[in-house]
Amino acid sequence: MQLSREALLQAYRQMKTIRVFEDRLHDEIALGEIAGFTHLYAGQEACAVGVCERLDAQDFIISTHRGHGHCIAKGCDVVGMMKEIYGSSEGLCKGKSGSMHIADVTKGMLGANGIVGAGAPIAVGAGITAKGTGNVSIAFSGDGACNQGTTFEAMNMAVVLKLPVIFVFENNHYSEHTGESYAVGAESMTTRAAAFGMKAIKADGIDFFSVYEAMRELIAYCKAGNGPASIELDCERFFGHFEGDPQRYRGKGELDRLREERDCLKLFRTKVTEAKLLEGAALDALDAEVTALIDRAVAESKAAARPTADHVLEDVYISY
């Protein structure tokens, strides 16, 4: 763990921001405050933050339907995101996108996506832009998305064109309600990616340090002009597929056990405090700071301007 104190605090701040953002959304949705489909990311924070803390502003990422964590980790404005999810015209996408399509291209965040598997080919395009600049393009996908033809095509094209694209497969073991063991015919996402001819590794997706360390290696590999790489992250999601999902596909006591034994935030805290890198008080102070930020985001979202009918046709390049 050669991270500076500042870097450790930043990683924790980002992970905690995602967690509090998601937990708060879970509550607000239960109150009926938020419309539409919301897919929460809680449980997978170490994946987004482990990857994005290695990136700089000029690197690109493309996300999935479960996009809040990736957006936050890449530096999107948290208040603007919350306003978007509330459907305000002050939201990051003016209330047009909601939870599933949040984007901020100025931050290199090329969008959450409602179409499973749509991200990987777009990440290949961003890889064309990134090639030779020292930047990389990251495609986040799930274990479900790795069964889409689009993902296969993207992996092959990235290899053929030798692009600096990193395919990040967050394997939370479920696609909606279907288990990964049923839906992924290959031995693993890693062997599948390797078969396309790229460097493919695994890391522990609930351990920030494992992800962060693995990403160092992959980014160096891509920047050296070797072409794409892939990483499979073993992780857990703590809520349903979407908010409102009764989760009958889970095992008995599964969620309690996961929250007890496989919580990336708890693991991070234990690791850094036991190694005496950070003290509990510093982490507690960050917890308070993050909670205040999310409280403000929710309060401002509730008070924010609502879109009106004349906004419908705004941003269509031509209207009739």
Ligand X SMILES: Cc1ncc(C[n+]2csc(CCOP(=O)(O)OP(=O)(O)O)c2C)c(N)n1
Q: HSE-up of 188 (CA within 13 Å, CB side)?
A: 16
- 170: Cα separation from own chain's centroid: 9
Residues 6+ apart with CB under 8 A from 217: 201
Question: Quick check: 312 binds another protein (CB under 8 A)?
Answer: yes
Give the residue closest to ligand X by C-beta.
Answer: 142
> Which stretches within 161-253 are classed as H helix?
180-183, 189-195, 208-223
Q: Which of 95, 88, 97, 35 is nearest to 67 (CA)?
A: 97
Which CB atom, from 137 or from 172, has the smaller least distance to another protein? 172
The residues that touch ligand X, with contacts defined as CB under 6 A, are: 64-66, 114-117, 142-145, 172, 174-176, 241
Figure out which of the listed residues 4, 105, 251, 274 binds another protein, where binding follows CB under 8 A: 251
State which of residues 1, 134, 177, 303 lies at the interface with another protein (CB under 8 A). 177
Please state the closest distance from residue 4 (CB atom) to ligand X, in A: 32
Q: Which of 89, 129, 190, 226 binds another protein (CB under 8 A)?
A: 89
| 149 binding partner (options another protein, ligand X, none; Cβ < 5 to 8 Å by kind) | another protein
Q: Is residue 110 within 8 Å of 122, Cβ to Cβ?
A: yes
Cβ atoms within 10 Å, residue 25 = 25
Q: Token digits for 36? A: 């539409």
Q: Verify binding: residue 320, another protein, rule CB under 8 A.
A: yes
Please state, in angstroms and rounded to a whole number, the distance separating the CA atoms of residues 49 and 43. 12
Question: Which of ligand X, another protein, none sits in contact with 320, Cβ below 5 to 8 A by type?
Answer: another protein
Query: Where does this chain bind another protein (CB under 8 A)?
Result: 35-37, 87-89, 95-101, 113-117, 144-145, 147-150, 174-185, 247-252, 254, 306-309, 311-313, 316, 318-320
